[in-house]
Amino acid sequence: MEKDMILIVGGGPAGLIMAIELLRRKVPVRILEKRKGPSHTARAMTVHARSMEMFHHMGVASRLEEVCLECPGNIYHFPGVPDDECPRTDYRVLPTSFPFYYKISQNDFEQVLREFLYAQYSMLPEYRTELVKLVQDGDRVVATIRLPDGQEEECSYPYVVGCDGVRSFVRDAAGIKFNGEVIAAMAMMDVPLENVTFDDRWMNYYFNKDLFMNCTKMPGDVWRIYMSEETGEFVYAKDIRQAFQEVADRIGIGFKVGVPEWATSWEIRNNIAERYRTGRMLICGDASHVHSPSGGQGMNGCMQDAFNLGWKLAAVFKGEADDSILDTYERERKPIGEQISNGAMATHHIVMGFGIEPAERLPLTKAPGWEQNTIKLVSGLSHNYCDVVQLPSGLKAVAGPRAGARAPDCLLTKSPQRRLYDIYRRPQFTLLIVPGADDDENHIKIGIKARDALETKFPGLVSSHMISSNRDSGFDFDHRARDEQGAVAKLYEIGPEGRLVLVRPDLYVGVSCVPEDWAAIPKYLEQWYNVAQR
């Protein structure tokens, strides 16, 4: 049986984002999930700024704001150092609409995504449905699927995306090695606490030479606490509640552990896949990289993988782009996976550098730029593709965000409120046209010319917007906005020379150029879209 849809294996965060990104672009999907049903327990708990920018783009951010708790950042409680002198990573300075990170249990977070998926697209994962065989056959992938009643069906799909975790069936079927090692063991629980003296808005890291614990308040009536040590004596203890209490007492935290709502233990691995694609089988999220939970980047990196791949896979499926653009997924995301891993390990060495006295680890937090670099990396705001972008030759260099960098957001008008990201909130590329001083008429004419050329050559794939107070600029109400306080000009470093900024569907800058170089925009887009077939 042939299925003209994308098969997604795994109904966790990466799989759900992948489905939403494809469905936003009218690409049919099927999501398999071998679990019996939605999980009521989960390890991940942080949603960082770059992910919230993604959710704003997708239209689900407002719901997350209702169910999450804001966390200003992390406090590292070194033994003997007064609390007000302890190192911190304070996210409130980040240049984003989300200068913090959100706390929410992964199971509650996934529920928000499932509800959004069902409300918008009448789609849910197929639970108790397991992939048991996968074979690539020419331009199709043949999947044998075990249904809830135990029967098996064989279907072929044009592409299969494995969002099926550390023990990925798709990765193994694709013959992709998953190199790495076990670096520690960890236990965690959601539990009521008494005698809490720390500021529970923050994530509080406590540790000594041999033990580690962190804790913070979660939505509802419980705290999330993690614990790690080298021997396994406490992590794998039979009485896990008593083990957590003893570790807290040995470190000197002072709280009393109640009866946990749930608890679990697992091995922390540091692995990355040797490649992210074999033909028409691709892997995404934990199937492609896992690392220390220090900093809480794991789930966020997984979702950003899907955000990168989704629009590209949709373009290929719809015949708008050549299959070769899928190779850019690995070129762009694998270095980010390595950055996340390295960043997580840097924090891991500070808080879980077992056998090394904390006083000897403290200098790691004193390195120049440590806090700033950490919050930008962990939040995802510093992730970029600048080293792998391909630009047309002959472009005049301009100031502002480089090609491949995150496209920053700003407030355009206060009342009614309109943000730059509201303009970018679409499943296409966005061309931002910013005339120079005094709404230069020549720049406006160039903007109209560029818009018309793109609509002719790439119909439906680029949305052009004029940033101008000139109501006669040739752009209708939905495609014109005012930069009321000059925020765009300041943030994108645009002077009287004006600017054209092409922003990718995943909120990264594609091209930034002066208006006179507008012909570089369609040349750049040719690397993504198959013009010959349009």
Residue by residue, DSSP assigns 63-83 as HHHHH-EEE-EEEEE-TTS-G
Helix segments in 150-256, DSSP class H: 169-173, 240-251
Average pLDDT score over residue span 423-442: 91
Task: Report the pLDDT value the prediction gives residue 42, as an integer from 0 to 100.
Answer: 67
Quote the tokens at residue 190. Answer: 């959601």
What pLDDT, on a 0 to 100 scale, did the predictor assign at position 292?
80
When comparing pLDDT for 183 and 87, which is higher? 87
Domain chopping of the chain, boundaries: 6-70+100-180+270-355, 405-526
Give CA separation, 227 vs 222, 223, 234, 259, 355, in Å. 16, 13, 8, 16, 16
Distance CA 373, CA 298 (A): 18
Name the pTM for this structure: 0.96
Distance from chain centroid for Cα 108: 17
Task: Write down the pLDDT at residue 184.
Answer: 85
- Residue 477 to residue 188: CA distance in whole angstroms: 52
CATH classification for the domain delimited by 6-70+100-180+270-355, as one of 3.30.70.141, 1.10.1040.20, 1.10.3720.10, 3.50.50.60? 3.50.50.60
Q: Measured on CA atoms in the order 232, 235, 238, 239, is the torsion positive or negative?
A: positive
Say if domain 405-526 classifies as CATH 3.40.190.10.
Answer: no
> What pLDDT does residue 533 have?
45
Mean pLDDT over each residue of the chain, to the nearest integer: 94
CA gap 321, 533 in Å, rounded: 9
Which neighbouring-strand residues pair with 182?
269
3-state secondary structure of 171: helix
What average pLDDT does this structure show over 293-298?
77
